[in-house]
Amino acid sequence: MHVVDIPEPGPWVREGQLVLTTGYAWPRKGPSQREQIRLLAERRVAGLALAVPHFFEHFSKGAYAEAESLGLPLMEVPWEVPFAEITEDVHRAILAEHYLVMERSEVIHRELTRAATEATSLQDLARTLGGIIGRSVTFEDPDGRLLAHHEASTCEDPARRSTLEDAQTPEDVLRALDAEGYLAAMRASTKPVRIPSMPCLGLDARLVCPIRLSGTLVGFVWVVEGDDPLSELDSRAAEHAALVAALQIARQRELSSLEARLGYAGVVALIEGSLEATAQALERALLLGFDPDGCYRAVLFVVEESVPVDRESLLRRERLEEQLRRHLLRLGAAPLLAVSVNRIIVLLPERYPVETLKLPSVGEEFSILAGRAHRGIEGVQRSYREALSLLSYAHRGEIALYEEQVVPRVLLGDPEARGVFLDQIFGPMRRERRGEVLEDSLFTFVANGFQFQETARRLQIHPNTLRYRLQHVEDLLQMSLDEPETRFRLQLAMHILELKHKNEPRKL
């Protein structure tokens, strides 16, 4: 409150003051009154109160029109009401408001501090924040994935409904925020950022507060503003909640890290052979979620960086490890993972194709190497060795399957690949009763240029007998002998054996 009765009050008033005047020094002419109104509006006073009737019966119509155009409230006060009484009442109201703000601030501080010590999840924290400010809130990771939420109203805007249904901020909203520069501001800021309403996206106004842990962005607190503007106290509550969320995330990461290290040790023991198939070892494997009778592939995700790995690469590896863990859980598979320098090792059950692990977020940063699916602990170790053998064949952003890399490795002179390749073709036949008959028939068929009648004549058997034998070979190898790729493999295998055992009986 400020009482001014001088001809030029502008220099003596400040923004936010309610100016009281008796009109003693108020201009009598219309243009001067309008100029005085403009001057007070420029000083951003809260309003102007004129005591009437004495020096003036009322504000002039021109003064009313000017004030209306500038958004300056005008009030007329009965002359018999003392300015001291008005000042006292207003100051009492201001003090009461300050007291209520302090009291509410104390409640917010107390509730959020309690949440910091008692909340077991971000969901508990979201419920606490939303309850004390009476707003709908969400906690999301830096990529917009939903971590927790609280609904203060059933009348949510379309963007929020989509976020809750898909557990992810809609892509069109993220693109729009990026195009308008808000996304960059959100990621760079340490203070809340206000997002205006975007009706074309079904987005009400929001306040976004970054969650930072040791300076690193780990998430956002979103508070829906809607038609009722958020107060400064609401903004401070969101900042406090972001700090508590950072503590909660740090605690969860520590627990996850401990659990992961224990899990890593178990998985490393499985794949490196230090876990032998004893009853105790099998019990430990079962606790990890490993099925000793199941078939698993060892899949390596390799960060395409030199060793030692820099901080950015470690952060990428950490993000991928967490995404793979969540993805395996969604698939219904045990999160059997281990991390080693620039690699993440995943034991993937045979029923899931390796392609299911190529998440959109992986991009071109990793190469993916997968051994074949084998059964049991020894099978896991074998699959891991197979995956390791592909390291020199890794290409960034691509999947390399052991079984698909055998022929290229054979052509490059890899002895291990040569043994695997020959076993792929002749192993199934030699494990069959009278398999040598099938092998001899197949060799003769290949040597005679895949000519059916000529092969039957050379073997001195009826064509139907040869047809039966070759059909049995196709069933065992799960290949069609009419396919050009199959014929190439068979010819390659025959040449390898002929070179290897030129003067010896054919055997693997």
Task: Please write the tens of the pLDDT for every residue from 140-159.
Answer: 988 888 888 998 876 778 88
Give 150 or 494, the one with higher predicted confidence.
150
33 vs 397: CA distance, rounded Å: 74
Residue whose tokens read 């396919």: 483
Give 154 or 186, the one with higher predicted confidence.
186
Look at residue 446 in the predicted model and tell me its pLDDT.
84
Across residues 163-169, what is the average pLDDT?
87
Give 20 or 484, the one with higher predicted confidence.
20
Look at residue 228 in the predicted model and tell me its pLDDT.
80
Look at residue 141 in the predicted model and tell me its pLDDT.
87
Name every residue whose Cβ is closer than 8 Å to that of residue 141 and which is 6 or more positions away in sequence.
Answer: 147, 218, 219
What average pLDDT does the chain have? 82
Look at residue 504 in the predicted model and tell me its pLDDT.
53
Q: What is the pLDDT of residues 380-435, one digit of tens each?
A: 888 888 888 888 777 777 888 887 777 777 777 777 777 777 777 788 888 887 78
Q: What is the pLDDT of residues 317-362, one digit of tens each?
A: 777 777 888 888 888 888 888 777 678 888 899 999 888 887 765 5
341 vs 65: CA distance, rounded Å: 74
User: Residue 307 pLDDT > 60, yes or no?
Assistant: no
User: Residue 73 pLDDT > 90, yes or no?
Assistant: yes
User: Residue 260 pLDDT > 70, yes or no?
Assistant: no
What would the two tokens of residue 389 be?
Answer: 């053998």
CA-based max dimension of the chain = 134
In this prediction the pTM is 0.45
pLDDT band at 248 (very low <50, low <70, confident <90, very high): confident
Residue 367 bridge partners (DSSP): 302
Look at residue 15 in the predicted model and tell me its pLDDT.
93
- Enumerate domains of the chain plus CATH numbers: 2-81 (3.50.30), 117-252 (3.30.450.40), 273-402 (3.30.70.270), 415-500 (1.10.10.2840)
Exposed, middle or buried: residue 365 (CB in 10 Å: 0-12, 13-18, 19+)?
A: middle
- DSSP three-state, residue 289: coil
Nearest to 340 by CA among 295, 281, 388: 388
Look at residue 82 in the predicted model and tell me its pLDDT.
92
What would the two tokens of residue 141 be?
Answer: 């990771």
Q: What is the pLDDT of residues 207-246, one digit of tens each?
A: 999 998 878 888 899 999 877 888 888 888 888 888 888 8
User: Residue 264 pLDDT > 60, yes or no?
Assistant: no
Residue whose tokens read 């068979």: 490
User: Residue 259 pLDDT > 50, yes or no?
Assistant: no
